[in-house]
Amino acid sequence: MKKLYYILVLFCFCQTADAQPRVDSTGMPVYTALHADNRLDIVLKKRKTSGGGSSIYSGPGYRVQIYSGSDRAKANKMKIDFVRRFPGVRAYITYVSPHFRVKVGDFGSRGEAQELYRQLSTIYNPCMIVPDIVVFRNFSSNKSKDDKPDTD
């Protein structure tokens, strides 16, 4: 399906240089130049270099919520504190009137989120596992040993 899309895009953006093409001995037209939109090259190169396994998509999953309140400054402070302690785990701030929420991690199942929850429950109180739309990339980055809090 994607190949069909690229072929259609190619035909839509391509133009021939000659109004009436030359014809070779077999009766087939011979084109001397092909003009296409420069942005088409960028799209095709990006598609080739992206690779099949590096797709990023979102779907239902779980995050650990470490703050919920109406103070924006405190939410930002909590997020910064978390990022300093756990540099390998992504943190998100959302606003649902009138509350700011700080949620961390991208987990496919509640069991995966449970490991981070155990570490965070001693630092951030209250915290809880909440369902959310998460970004799927590499789940191994959420489980790395670098995610333990600093004891400095």
Q: CATH number of the domain that 92 lies in? A: 3.30.70.1070
Domain assignment present for 54: no
Domain-embedded: residue 134 = yes
pLDDT tens digits, residue range 101-150? Answer: 999 999 999 999 999 999 999 999 889 999 999 988 644 444 444 444 44
Total-model pTM: 0.55
Residues ≥6 apart with Cβ < 8 Å to 116: 64, 89, 104, 105, 107, 142, 147
pLDDT at 75 over 50: yes
> What mean pLDDT, rounded, does the chain reach?
78
Q: Which domain holds residue 12?
A: 2-48
Give the list of residues 6+ apart from residue 57 with CB closer than 8 angstroms, or none: 135, 136
